[in-house]
Amino acid sequence: MEKQFIFLATLLVTLLAFGYTTRRYVGFFKITRGGFPVKQIGRRIGVMLEVAIGQTKIFRRPILGLLHALVFWGFLVILIGSLEMVIDGLTGQERVLSFLGAVYNIIMASGDIFALVIALAIIVFLARRIFLNVKRFSGIEMKHISHLDANVALTIILVLMLSLLGMNTYYVLATQQAGHGLEGVYPVSQLLASRIDAGAHTSELLYQVNWWIHILLVFIFANYLPYSKHFHVFMSVPNVFLSRLEPLGKLDTMESITKEVKIMMDPDQAFASPPEGEAAEEETPERFGVLDVEDVTWKNYLDSLACTECGRCTSVCPANITGKKLSPRKIVMDVRARMKEKGPGLVKNGAEYSDEKSLIRDYISEEELWACTLCNACAQECPININQPALIVGMRRYLVMEESAAPSELNSIFSNIENNGAPWQFSQEDRMLWAEDIVVNDKSQ
């Protein structure tokens, strides 16, 4: 019973901490705009199974992609074992899911094998980060804390896998020494147990030690993730499910602008009565485009939380490759960092809160925004379907429509369209002057 009370107290602390974090993020999401309808559920499930569960984009780099996919799939299997440990801790029983029989044997055997595979993969990942100078892991946005965070998270995962193997190994030893039958199959741990010489008391003690190390690390890791780049462990699957389904090259129009254009083409719409049974909506003036985090959509913010900081987007960006300041990864990371800075003030004081800073200029320069060619290579390469160009276009729209702060070449085009009805500097009356001296021979005569 003492173990159950300790476990229950630990679980409650974990859930309270996780609840506080969840409430904090819910508050941040409420600050953002809507404008991202979720439809075509069947198609979204297909994309999620292909990209998130199947890890198809990761396999563009076959060797590392396979290692990453094995880690992800392994976590899905091991998660079942973690749920069983929670039930065991609350009920005071051992291997409570063993009633599943052959299915349980498959789950335990898979988890045991995956624990070793994941441990080896994590060692490879850590070695790459520590000893190899991988270009896409660097950049002005990748500060020391980013590298430290990655190493800490990978180390926790490594210890989780080692403690799981230790727990299974000493469970096998303790069970065999007690003369009881094993619940489940443990190929790796049974092999390790056959090479360990330990007494019954020692085996039982080390089993309990590894059990507690593993479950406590699970609880700690669950609360560490929301403050880490590895938040994608939670957010990547939902983010892929909520992917933008339209072709990457399609730009979303602004509903308010579309309405104004329709009124220009049919002025009677401006005075039309609302449909019967519907009240007329009083629209409050809103900012055009994105200046700060309260202007991004909830999906833009979800993208920023799901970002793995892998750098695949920046590594294929033609602007970045040619030496320009733009880094699509930085754009996404800046949204997350800016919300962390300004979000609490907006939640506490409302939409009127200002800290005299903004996402544009204080975090992201105009030079970065206008360097983008909208080729969508970043969105195509992102393993979890983040749409970086949507953010860039939103901020460009603010610069153009609110500040007329587009590059001079674009401002000239806008001015010509406004004055001459075309992007050229000539008036409509002068457009055909170039053809005055051209003689056309009529061969029909």
- Give the model's confidence band at 192: pLDDT under 50 very low, under 70 low, under 90 confident, else very high: very high
At residue 90, the pLDDT reads: 92
Residue 272: what pLDDT? 62
Closest CA to 332 of 296, 359, 307, 357: 307
pLDDT of residue 311: 92
pLDDT band at 344 (very low <50, low <70, confident <90, very high): very high
Q: How far apart are CA 287 and CA 284, in angstroms?
A: 10
The pLDDT tens digits of the residues spanning 83-121 come to 999 999 999 888 899 999 999 999 999 999 999 999 999
Q: In the prediction, which pLDDT does 254 show?
A: 81
Distance CA 15, CA 219 (A): 9
Fold (topology level) of 255-267+287-427: Fumarate Reductase Iron-sulfur Protein; Chain B, domain 2 (1.10.1060)
State the pLDDT confidence band at 73, using cuts at 50, 70 and 90.
Answer: very high
| Residue ranges covered by each domain of the chain | 2-229, 255-267+287-427
Residue 304's nearest CA partner among 322, 330, 282 is 330
pLDDT digits (tens, 9 = 90+) for 371-419: 999 999 999 999 999 999 999 999 999 999 899 888 888 888 888 888 8
Task: Give the mean pLDDT of the chain.
Answer: 90
pTM confidence score: 0.87
C-alpha atoms less than 13 angstroms from C-alpha of 74 in its C-beta half-sphere: 23
Q: What is the pLDDT of residues 255-274, one digit of tens each?
A: 778 877 777 777 676 666 66
With beta carbons less than 8 A apart as the criterion, state whether 328 and 313 touch.
yes
- Backbone φ and ψ for 269, nearest 5 degrees, come out as -65, -30
**In this predicted model, what pLDDT tens digit does every residue of 214-268 receive, in sequence order?**
999 999 999 999 999 889 889 999 999 999 999 988 888 887 788 777 777 776 7
